[in-house]
Chains A and B, each alone.
Chain A
Amino acid sequence: AQKVTQAQTEISVVEKEDVTLDCVYETRDTTYYLFWYKQPPSGELVFLIRRNSFDEQNEISGRYSWNFQKSTSSFNFTITASQVVDSAVYFCALARGNLIFGKGTKLSVKP
């Protein structure tokens, strides 16, 4: 069975703090893809990153970075120097076809 677990339901930080959102996945497939999406209050999910199971290199994009570790089946997302505009619900997802989403982590960044 395929499953995505985001154990953190809600996180609250103060602006400029670093924050890491955890994602643990389960799959028996050797080829799969992992995603992170952001859902701001407006509702639409915004694609952030896609990673395939053969590429364990960490990725950095501005203040965002992702740590993919197959050994622990984790794909964690770190926001450095958080800003109020980062406040949203963040979803981790697994795919070998259609997407299976975690329940999401609501991040609140306070000024």
Chain B
Amino acid sequence: ETGVTQTPRHLVMGMTNKKSLKCEQHLGHNAMYWYKQSAKKPLELMFVYSLEERVENNSVPSRFSPECPNSSHLFLHLHTLQPEDSALYLCASSQVAGTATANTGELFFGEGSRLTVL
């Protein structure tokens, strides 16, 4: 069982819908991340939260709205998405933000939420 759980695993939504992706980590980590994985593209870092504060926003369109109510939970609220937003959205956690400075430098990933925008 993974220490990072993402729900839903699959989501199909229309361009006018509003939905949310949820991530929960059971590892006692202080940093959480959203990544976007599109076909034939590198993983794109979207947001980084450290101790529930957003520390990085990589020029992500405002139709993606993250929320981190506590260090164990991370949400990605979606509204008025475009078909090109269809992708696998991966959540990850680490002991501290900036994996190179962490003890192991390891990110723990969830299994992802496969989003299809019609």
Q: Which residues of A contact B (CB under 8 A)?
A: 4, 32-33, 35, 37, 42-47, 50, 91, 95-104
Contact = CB atoms under 8 A, between A and B. Distances in A.
Interface of B: 2, 4, 33, 40-43, 45, 48, 56, 88, 90, 92, 97-101, 104-112, 114
A47 B108 contact: yes
B43 A43 contact: no
A95 B4 contact: no
A24 B100 CA distance: 18
Contacts of A47: 104, 106-108
B112 A50 contact: no
A91 B109 CA distance: 13
A109 to B, nearest CB: 21
A99 B42 contact: no
B104 A50 contact: yes
A101 B100 contact: no
Nearest to B98: A97
Nearest to B33: A98
B112 A32 contact: no
Nearest to A5: B42
B2 A97 contact: no
B45 A99 contact: yes
B115 to A, nearest CB: 12
A42 B104 CA distance: 24
A96 B105 CA distance: 10
Given A43-B114, A98-B33, 9 more contacts: A32-B100, A42-B111, A43-B111, A44-B2, A44-B109, A97-B101, A98-B48, A102-B42, A103-B40
A102 B101 CA distance: 20
Contact of B41 (A95, A97, A103): A103
Nearest to B104: A50
B106 A50 contact: yes
B88 A95 contact: no
B111 A99 contact: no
Contact of B105 (A35, A45, A46): A35
